[in-house]
């Protein structure tokens, strides 16, 4: 059975029945139909930057390598049609060379363009949904492609319709981005707040985001990882006020981000760090010492070791703060994706 290690950034030792790399829609459809004919489960991967294999996959992994970027513009906007296999960070870099601004806050997010809508990727005050015009989807049963508007994608925090209604039998083949020419920098988070909004350039924002991420996040080729392992939890104002009192009692200031609906987003990494879990290890799976939100493969970690570590973190944070963390990473079992929250509960 072929080895999946090179096809996902956690680099967990796992195998699949078949691994097929596709560069055209026809190849993708043929691979899927062949798997259906053999009654085998299928899994579509881009760069595998947000998956954890719990065990060997008893099916066909189709690696999306659909390439190509098309650009058009009018007086007010740039419009990009990006095929799903394009590397996301390379897209951000390319856009700046074309003097197209708006993607810079999303620099260095690992993965492909086709994965961006599934998670509604986001960083430093910008989410994919803010830039999305449409998502192009292949219905593998009907062998036809259709488009969903950004509204139809039902985007939420690390959430979309592609985790639900269009989870099985559908493949994202391209995304459409709409970027205003009346660019305004988003400088809400971290050291970005130190920039002058009147004079800062998109390239300066890009460079600073890259600097921050590279200082905190391990290179997957050195230490296998899937980026942020947990979602930042969102709590009610009442629960936040209780947490704030608890933190102030210990002379701490809890990082928090008020949401438009009145709820409050917390920093999962801060919660984990306050539980003194940086560097904590189970087998070859460990909490990264510079960024507690990242779990790393320090050698030959197994999916079971990563799960045990994630479960320990979840239980420890819950005991200390009464907040239950949810995984951002997708968990892949023998026959496909499984419920991550159930796995680490």
| CATH, domain 5-64, list 3.30.43.10, 3.50.50.60, 3.10.20.30, 3.40.50.1950 | 3.30.43.10
Bridge partners of 230?
327
| Selection from 234, 216, 199 nearest residue 290 by Cα | 216
- In terms of Cβ atoms closer than 10 Å to its own Cβ (0-12, 13-18, 19+), residue 287 is buried
CA dihedral sign of residues 97, 106, 330, 12: positive
Region class of 161: left (phi > 0), else alpha (psi between -120 and 50), else beta: alpha
The two tokens of residue 301 are 């970690």
Average of per-residue pLDDT across 209-220: 91
Average of per-residue pLDDT across 219-232: 93
Helix axes 88-97, 202-216, angle to 10 degrees: 150
pLDDT at 1: 83
Q: Tell me which H or E stretch contains 46.
A: none
Q: Report the alpha-carbon distance of residue 245 to residue 257 in Å, rounded.
A: 16
| CATH, domain 69-216, list 3.90.76.10, 2.40.180.10, 3.90.850.10, 3.30.465.10 | 3.30.465.10
Please tell me the pTM assigned to this model: 0.90
Q: Report the alpha-carbon distance of residue 130 to residue 28 in Å, rounded.
A: 29
Q: Are 264 and 236 in contact (CB under 8 A)?
A: yes
How distant, in Å, are the alpha carbons of 17, 30, 41, 100 from that of 37?
Answer: 14, 10, 10, 44
The two tokens of residue 250 are 């210990």
Hey, is 257 helix, strand or coil?
strand
pLDDT at 328: 93
Annotated active-site positions, please?
Answer: 158, 228, 328
For residue 308, pLDDT beyond 90:
yes
pLDDT at 273: 96
- Looking only at the bridges linking them, the beta strands covering 51-53 and 57-64 are unpaired
Q: Are 42 and 141 in contact (CB under 8 A)?
A: no
Hey, is 193 helix, strand or coil?
helix
Tens of pLDDT, residues 246-300 = 888 778 899 998 998 999 999 999 999 999 999 999 999 999 999 999 999 999 9
What average pLDDT is seen over the chain?
95
| CATH, domain 224-344, list 3.30.470.20, 3.90.650.10, 3.40.640.10, 3.90.78.10 | 3.90.78.10
The two tokens of residue 139 are 């219905």
- Looking only at the bridges linking them, the beta strands covering 42-45 and 57-64 are parallel
What are the residue ranges of helices labelled H in 160-278? Answer: 202-216, 237-249, 268-274
Tens of pLDDT, residues 109-153 = 999 999 999 999 999 999 999 999 999 999 998 989 999 999 999
Q: Where are the domains of the chain?
A: 5-64, 69-216, 224-344
User: What number of residues does the chain have?
Assistant: 345
Q: Are 73 and 57 in contact (CB under 8 A)?
A: no
Q: Report the alpha-carbon distance of residue 300 to residue 58 in Å, rounded.
A: 21
pLDDT at 249: 79
Q: Report the alpha-carbon distance of residue 116 to residue 89 in Å, rounded.
A: 11
Tens of pLDDT, residues 14-44 = 999 999 999 999 999 999 999 999 999 999 9
């Amino acid at each position: 059975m072929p080895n999946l290690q090179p096809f996902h950034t956690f680099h967990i030792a796992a195998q699949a029945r078949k691994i097929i790399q596709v560069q055209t829609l026809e190849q993708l459809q043929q691979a899927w139909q062949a798997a259906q004919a053999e009654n085998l489960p299928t899994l579509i991967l881009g760069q595998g930057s947000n998956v954890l294999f719990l065990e060997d996959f008893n099916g066909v992994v189709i690696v999306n390598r659909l390439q190509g970027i098309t650009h058009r513009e009018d007086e007010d906007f740039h419009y990009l049609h990006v095929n799903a296999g394009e590397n996301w960070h390379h897209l951000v870099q390319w856009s700046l060379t074309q003097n197209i601004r708006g993607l810079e806050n999303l620099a260095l997010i690992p993965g492909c363009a086709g994965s961006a809508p599934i998670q509604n990727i986001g960083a430093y005050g910008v989410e994919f949904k803010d830039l999305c015009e449409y998502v192009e989807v292949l219905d593998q049963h009907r062998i036809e492609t259709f488009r969903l508007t950004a509204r139809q994608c039902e985007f939420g925090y690390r959430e979309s319709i592609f985790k639900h209604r269009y989870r099985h039998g559908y493949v994202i083949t391209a995304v459409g981005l709409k970027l205003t020419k009346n660019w305004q920098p988003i400088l809400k988070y971290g050291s970005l707040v130190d920039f002058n909004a009147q004079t800062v350039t998109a390239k300066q924002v890009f460079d600073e985001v890259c600097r921050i991420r590279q200082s905190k996040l391990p290179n997957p080729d050195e230490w296998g990882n899937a980026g942020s392992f947990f979602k930042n939890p969102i709590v009610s104002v009442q629960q936040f006020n209780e947490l704030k009192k608890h933190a102030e009692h210990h002379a701490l200031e809890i990082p928090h981000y008020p949401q438009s609906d009145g709820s409050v987003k917390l920093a999962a990494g801060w919660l984990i760090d306050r539980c003194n879990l940086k560097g904590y290890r189970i087998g070859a799976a460990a909490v990264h010492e510079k960024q507690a939100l990242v779990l790393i493969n320090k050698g030959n970690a197994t999916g079971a070791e990563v799960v045990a570590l994630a479960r320990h973190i979840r239980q420890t944070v819950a005991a200390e703060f009464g907040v239950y963390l949810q995984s951002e990473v997708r968990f892949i079992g023998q026959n496909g994706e499984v419920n991550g929250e159930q796995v680490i509960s």
